[in-house]
Structure 1
Amino acid sequence: MNTYRNSKLSLLLILALALVLSACGSGNGNKGANSGAGTTAPTATPEQSSQPAESPAAQDEGTLTVYLNDFDDMIAPLFEAATGYKVELIVGNGAEIMSRVEAEKGNPHWDVLWMDAMPSIHGLGEAGQLMEWTPDNLGNLDEFAQGFVPEKHWYFPTGAHAAGVIVYNKDKVKAEDAPASWEQFDDAQYKGMIGMADPAIAAPAYPYVSWFFNDLGMDKGQQYFGALMKNGLKVYPKNPNVVSALTSGEISIAALQESNAYAMVNKGEPIEIVWPEEGAPASVRVAAIQKDTKNPNAAKAFIEFLLDPATQQALVDEGDESYFQPSAKGVTPRPDRAAHAKLVAADASWASQNEAAIKQWFADQSVQ
């Protein structure tokens, strides 16, 4: 469990509780992605949570189980304090969580998924494993986030971050010699100097590579990464491994997830961050509810809570992964995050349909 300063946690909890109390005296007419724009919906409470359409009187059967990437476990005490619902978090890397979901397909143990894995979760929706519903505060998402809401409301974006920005070690590479765009990565002068995370293991790494394959096409995508590999690209299991390689001098340049990049800068590492003009591929963090959840009221309240501006501001101010672009209007990103940060992303349906093939291609390269 993440440790926070007592005073700040108390302030966050008081804020969350205040939102609940204020909700009891106000109505909410937002019912879709295009209604209620510019308003902040109150956080759902046990009494106010939407009931499943097929059974208006349905009752929750126990503790809400949330599967999530290994970040932001501060959400549990905030949610419990704001709503009274109990929640159990099951955390792991992207591959671990999705493997667990697959293994439990016939008997899911989870109620909610909250992960940096939009393509994988989109695939669960297409496979009929997710509840389709509309949060009351969906209309408060900004224009960028609205673009990631699927036509069938299977999941909802709570934020997006760069799955990869360009970073370089200033002690090893001069500013004038550093790559400024992704197309420069295969330049001969960078032979053996570049690293990235494995798209089959690290949750943000697949959204990173899928953008190139979606943008270039499958054949040219393979050619692009094939050229990088011939130029000595090093692929590490996860982004912290990339950080270690940068710190040790094993590599001098990387495509690195942005929270890891800013953490290096904040620790005083000689790292410079470059946001390519063409954009940094985004990992979109989304939340979804299991179709046959035994705790529909708590699950819906959890999604509403994640979409609330106050919750997202708390994640920016105190979260493990605080460097991200919030999805709700009225949230202020970290002041040291690049103001000119541009995010791009692969189409979720396309990335889902091609996920197995792209990951297999990378696995095949590693054994050659």
Structure 2
Amino acid sequence: MRIAVASFSHETCTFCPKPTTVEDFEKGGVLHGEEVLNAYRSIPSYINGFIKAAEEAGDVELVGILAASRAWGGSSGSWLTRECFDKYSYGIAEGLKKAGRLDGVLLALHGAMAAEGVLKPEAEIVRRVRAAVGDIPIMVTLDLHANEDHELIDVADGVFILKTYPHVDLEEVGVKAARCIIETIRGDFRPTMALRKPGVITPSVFQGTDAYPAREIMARARMWEEREADAYCVSVAFGFAYADVPDAGATVIAVINDNQELAERIAQDVSDYIWSLRKPFAGKKLPKTREGVARAIEAARAGRTPVVIADHSDRTGDSTHILKELMAQDASNFCVATIADARAIGEIQRRAKVGETVTVDVGGYATEWSGT
């Protein structure tokens, strides 16, 4: 049994100023052939999950194709250029054509990619893969922040989404997807899927799966998996609100063994449950910068350390709002972990020698909202 493995992944914040290009992916590192498997082996990842399931099965050969998942700057990049999207999606398709006989394809995607001129990037990736390999099983893994709709399940045979945020189950989900494709190829499993969009968009800071109401939503999905023997995987993606795309928002996908009616019933139930909890999601509030910093300083002075302030809106990495407020409130003994500023680094390289102390302006320029 020969199963191809490929990955093309990006979480795209379309409100950031800089497009994501081929150069960004190449700088981050694009993998080809056996590199795809070797780079992720023994690292908690979807692909290591694929490897573990293949080794467990014993009669499976994994064939690495291409992995473009490490764009420089990560999610601070905006829309993928069309050149970039075409290069790697067609690159995967061409690699599959050259790979010889294949029994299936495992794709590690993201679900929140946004590309110029491509309404549904992940669905289009799978369409191009389908055109290359024909009627063999294609299974897809996605991030919990995925924005997807029916177009993806129309072209994939199985879709498996992370169940945790923070994400600690990449390998587990990879194993689940790989076991499913192996059983499907053997004829022991017939995947049927249903998808629902409950119509709920939430900020990712409220999507932590160890807190209400995301915790309860995930428990609802697990309930169905435990109750119904044929309910192989019931997935919830909470979506990525920072991509201005038509399918933004939560998605429920049920992967069931040969029972479309059950798939539809489960997907509808979980979708209805998410809708019923929309007000608790919407009712959550975060402190404004001044209040948040004041509370952090108070906690630190009371000895409740360490105190971490998360600047959740700082997608570009150069926000100075928290730093400015810390200084305004006379905070002491604090560390600003990172401010991304290529201009400041360039100035230091031009002006300073090793061991010298320099003063430079840092941050606050990537967008009009970055600070001063």
* TM-score, normalised relative to structure 1: 0.27
Higher relative contact order (CA 8 A, sep 6+): 1
* TM-score, normalised relative to structure 2: 0.26
Larger radius of gyration: 2
